[in-house]
Homo-oligomer: A and B are copies of this chain.
């Protein structure tokens, strides 16, 4: 018989922490213990930070980004190139592109990919809003920065089909060898794509 050893408050904390990606039951227990043993430095600040996030973080009705204002600070940033909308699957992908300072456009977060097997259809994604945005006069290019997976590419094709009415160029990310990557570790598809799209040196 296993006894419930700690205070119910700690058990509850462990239970919730275990739901975070990257933490299992065991590491959640370690994290909870670390929290309650570092009250001033970690537990109190985290309580405040989570409360703050819960109270202030909103989803941008325009692009689906997450921010403390709606429309988000990217959508309202006057320095952004408004002629391009960079379409991503998730906020995590948006963050990744922003961290790389890869593009200075606005974004559109789909919130996933089409996936018939998982029952995810066009209505479950933020697609109709994208079609609407693409029709705006100043938008000239839709860059589909979706993942190079089957579902990502299916979604890209679906969106391209539905953008035919709008007067925009549709582009996608280049395929090729990742910077710093070793050929020996790359799959055949990537190598073939890199050869096919080879550039003058």
Residues of A bordering B, CB below 8 Å: 1-3, 5-10, 12-13, 16-17, 19-23, 27, 29-37, 39, 42-47, 49-54, 56-57, 66-69, 73-74, 91-92, 94-95, 98-101
Residues of B within 8 A of A101 (CB): 1-3
Number of copies of this chain that the complex holds: 2
Report if A13-B53 is in contact (Cβ < 8 Å); known contacts: A7-B67, A21-B34, A34-B20: yes
For A9, A12, A69, A99, which residue has the most chain B Cβ atoms within 10 angstroms?
Answer: A9
In the complex, the answer to whether A95 meets B29 with C-beta atoms within 8 Å is yes
In the complex, the answer to whether B35 meets A50 with C-beta atoms within 8 Å is yes
The CA-CA distance from A93 to B193 in the complex, in Å, is 54
In the complex, the answer to whether B21 meets A36 with C-beta atoms within 8 Å is no
Residues of B within 8 A of A37 (CB): 66, 91
The CA-CA distance from A55 to B13 in the complex, in Å, is 13
